[in-house]
Structure 1
Amino acid sequence: MKIIYKLKQIAVCAFLVALAASCDNDLPGVGGAEQNYNTAYGLIKANTNLLLFNKAIQLAGLEATLNTNEDFTYFVPADAILEVYLVKNGYVNALGYPDITLVPVADLKQIVLSHVVKGAKKRVGKLAGVTADYLETGELTTLANTANPDLYLLGVNVTDGILKVNGSDKPATGLDYYATNGFVNILDNVISLSPPTPVISVLSQSFASPGDVVTITGSHFVKVKSVKFGETEAVFKSISKTAIEVTVPADFGSYALVKVQTEYGISNIATIGVKFLVYGDNFSGAPAPLSVGGWGGTQDFQNTENVNRGTYSIKRTTDKWSAMYIQHNPVKIADYGYLKLSIYATVSTRILFSIGGTSDDDGKAIDIKAGEWNNISIPISDLHPEKLGTNVNSLFVKEYSGLPGIIYLDDIGYL
């Protein structure tokens, strides 16, 4: 048994090496001198480098759909590329070789349709003096989009006659293989139009109360299954692929970790509220921190010009590379996972934050958008907890863009 297993390992390794080598070689062209007398589907069916895609069409039951005289533009991965895709996604037989018959029919159908655009003939290489329906940079609707409108559109980039598809940095291997009813382009990648894992960028509120409606802004909010505050599922309304409105649950305390789950994955974590409030309108009832240090610039701890929540905020007028150090009541750092704060800048800038130290190496620099409140959550793991000891009682804020300006800080705490 050990000998058989070893031979299997050797066979799989040899196969993958062969695949890698084949991907580096130029792929032969499609068709031949008489290629323009064949349909686009006929070109694919007759070409020995596209056997797997043709087999996928048949297994998915799409031959009757595509083997017609309708105009189609195909973007087809060559066999070597599809084999790598199958291995990468675990569609291999008992010996470890790629096996397209193992792909579920529904998935196979989506894969095939994602590579086909219905419509007039299209060319990549423009011909002097010839007006035609040239393939241009932009987005195309595939047959998969027609079947499932939640899928992303096909991104096409044509620059100086070079075609790149679906965000790939690899040029298409073969171009302008024309047929009686369309074109076939040979790709060096497999197209996927399924949305990626959702991403939360920001919450509309840094603090909230039960019943508040909070807008979650981000990307890839497609087929949202749930929005959770901690382990509690919240009532939500999908607004678009970049926005969700969610109602804060009735049992919400003072903080929560928020995440979005779609059919395509679970998002990163956003935070709302805090466990320990360093500064809301004051420092534990005092208008100023226990002590203040730093260099350059000025600060006002009871500013009313620009406030995120409540009555006051901290106004900091910065010189370039200036810094402010404030001391507050100690917190046991092991009890918290994030430093949270809201910051507003009059000009786009970069600010370094650290806790328990004043060295650049102790902190994390964050890009701040101008003209809006930025709700920032910095993982404690990014602030070098190995240097902090048991308790932390300070916050260090440094202008890190080399540009003077004004920033406002509010709702500072730990979560």
Structure 2
Amino acid sequence: MKIIYKLKQIAVCAFLVALAASCDNDLPGVGGAEQNYNTAYGLIKANTNLLLFNKAIQLAGLEATLNTNEDFTYFVPADAILEAYLVKSGYVNSLGYPDITLVPVDVLKQIVLSHVVKGAKKRVGKLDGVTADYLETGELTTLANTANPDLYLLGVNVTGGVLKVNGSDKPATGLDYYATNGFVNVLDNVIALSPPTPIVSALSQSFASPGDVVTITGSHFVKVKSVTFDNKEVVFKSISKTQIEVTVPADFGSYALVKVQTEYGVSNIATIGVKFLMYGDNFSGSPTPVSTWQWGGSENFQSTENVNRGAYSIKRTTDSWSGLYMQYNPVNVADYGYLKLSIYATVSTRVLFSIGGTNDADGKAVDIKAGEWNNISIPISELHPEKLGANVNSLFIKEYSGLPGILYLDDIGFL
């Protein structure tokens, strides 16, 4: 009897141990992937769709760097995507097939390290009981960027549980493969190794005089080669990847088209100054427009309360969706490329601008930040010039967010 009792005890213990073990491994899935007690690097080695990336790690001599218990978040292109990248980059054998062994080791290291964020366990989806941060839209520093700051930061877009990386329009095909020391996300694109072309988003001044120091704000200002005013190089100083200071040249007139060139390309065009000034401190010598009408709100065409440049600005007290129409002396729209103005808002809002009419569909709505002068430059091509005829003689502005407040407008003109 004692033997039978002992056997029963052993059987019960074995059952409980087995049950506990099965519970430990009965883990919830995230984004279709099962939680795993392997390391992040181990998950990549075990995934048959990531064999090429694993081979890249080995050929680049990075196993010792990545096969550790430190925290990592991986963004890994699937085999088919990496093969297509190799073909596009010319790494093919004599038969035309992709061959990763042809990639130089230093390039291979950059490829691998550009897809790894060290010291972070970040996930897209929620998982109860797992300690990790959420991935949020923004930029992350990869291991490649740590080694070489000139390389492109990892741009992440997370919207509604969908992950897109570095501007790709293709969502990541696999999310949040959970390991003991991080997460693996499977991508449908290969992360770029070099910064994209520079982007100019703003100038610190809408008008300038020779000798002024103007700050250019934007992104991807890496290895800047030149800054030009109307295709003439000017003196500049690189402050950071997002800011450049330029000195306005002695031969500057009243306007210029500004561009930044890096080793990776040429930026979009920014503008400074105007050819035709519709409103500075007045309307071509008159304190008021040729004619005006409005609905909702009120205006003062020579306010001294908040001025961007000179002595006066236009103060517009807005109601929700209220509009102001101002008529001025006609100009030939074909002579200009941009509508320019400076605008200050007491509350963050959205404003519609239109020339030659009051139809919303023919205007351009722009987001305005509160508490600062916003220098706005709208291409004439976005204001439907095909509907305007040869000459235009009016500017229409409309509060377009439903939020009443106060707007100040200054330095309105065409370039």
Question: What interval of TM-score do these two structures reach, taking the shorter chain for normalisation?
Answer: 0.7 to 0.9
**What do the CA deviations read for 1:288-340 (whole angstroms, capped 9, x no partner)?**
22222233332222211111101111112223322222221221111100011
Structure 2 CA distance for partners of 1:357 and 1:102, relative to 1, 3 Å: farther
Match of 2:396 in 1: 396
Classify the secondary structure of the residue corresponding to 1:63: coil
Q: State how far apart, in whole Å, the 1-side matches of 2:204 and 2:235 are.
A: 16
* 2:225 corresponds to 1:225: yes
Aligned residues between the structures: 374
Residue 67 of structure 1 and its aligned partner are, at CA, apart by: 7.9
Match of 1:172 in 2: 174
Q: State how far apart, in whole Å, the 2-side matches of 1:126 and 1:361 are.
A: 42
Residue 64 of structure 1 and its aligned partner are, at CA, apart by: 6.8
Q: State how far apart, in whole Å, the 1-side matches of 2:67 and 2:397 are.
A: 67
Match of 1:306 in 2: 306
Match of 1:20 in 2: none
Residue 93 of structure 1 and its aligned partner are, at CA, apart by: 7.1
Q: State how far apart, in whole Å, the 1-side matches of 2:44 and 2:401 are.
A: 57
Match of 1:264 in 2: 264
* 2:208 corresponds to 1:243: no
Q: State how far apart, in whole Å, the 1-side matches of 2:361 and 2:127 are.
A: 57
Query: Aligned letter for 2:267?
Result: S
Match of 1:11 in 2: none
Q: State how far apart, in whole Å, the 1-side matches of 2:128 and 2:334 are.
A: 69
Residue 158 of structure 1 and its aligned partner are, at CA, apart by: 10
* 2:341 corresponds to 1:355: no
Classify the secondary structure of the residue corresponding to 1:282: coil
Counterpart contact for 2:257–2:269, Cα < 8 Å: yes
Unpaired segments ≥5 residues, structure 2: 1-30
Deviates more, 1:260-269 or 1:167-176: 167-176
Classify the secondary structure of the residue corresponding to 2:340: strand
Match of 1:372 in 2: 372
Residue 68 of structure 1 and its aligned partner are, at CA, apart by: 8.8
Give the superposed CA RMSD: 4.0
| Aligned positions of 1:15-414 closer than 5 A | 40=41, 44=45, 49-57=49-57, 62-63=60-61, 66=64, 73=72, 75-87=75-87, 98-100=98-100, 106-116=106-116, 136-137=133-134, 141-154=141-154, 166=165, 169-170=171-172, 172=174, 175-176=177-178, 185=184, 187-189=186-188, 190-192=190-192, 194-414=194-414
Query: Aligned letter for 1:270?
Result: A
Classify the secondary structure of the residue corresponding to 2:174: coil
Counterpart contact for 2:40–2:179, Cα < 8 Å: no
Q: State how far apart, in whole Å, the 2-side matches of 1:27 and 1:347 are.
A: 44
Counterpart contact for 1:317–1:406, Cα < 8 Å: yes
Given the two structures, how large is their TM-score scaled by the length of structure 2?
Answer: 0.75
Classify the secondary structure of the residue corresponding to 1:257: strand
Q: State how far apart, in whole Å, the 1-side matches of 2:413 and 2:114 are.
A: 47
Structure 2 CA distance for partners of 1:55 and 1:376, relative to 1, 3 Å: same
Counterpart contact for 2:352–2:400, Cα < 8 Å: yes
Residue 203 of structure 1 and its aligned partner are, at CA, apart by: 1.1
Q: State how far apart, in whole Å, the 2-side matches of 1:349 and 1:128 are.
A: 39
Q: What is the identity percentage for the equivalent residue pairs of Structure 1 and Structure 2?
A: 73
Counterpart contact for 1:156–1:163, Cα < 8 Å: no
**What do the CA deviations read for 1:45-103 (whole angstroms, capped 9, x no partner)?**
x87544433454466xx227748975565654331221243456676678875454665
Q: State how far apart, in whole Å, the 2-side matches of 1:165 and 1:396 are.
A: 38
Given the two structures, how large is their TM-score scaled by the length of structure 1?
Answer: 0.75
Q: State how far apart, in whole Å, the 2-side matches of 1:147 and 1:299 are.
A: 56
Counterpart contact for 1:40–1:183, Cα < 8 Å: no
Classify the secondary structure of the residue corresponding to 2:236: strand
Counterpart contact for 1:123–1:176, Cα < 8 Å: no
Classify the secondary structure of the residue corresponding to 2:239: strand
Query: Aligned letter for 2:403?
Result: L
Classify the secondary structure of the residue corresponding to 1:381: helix
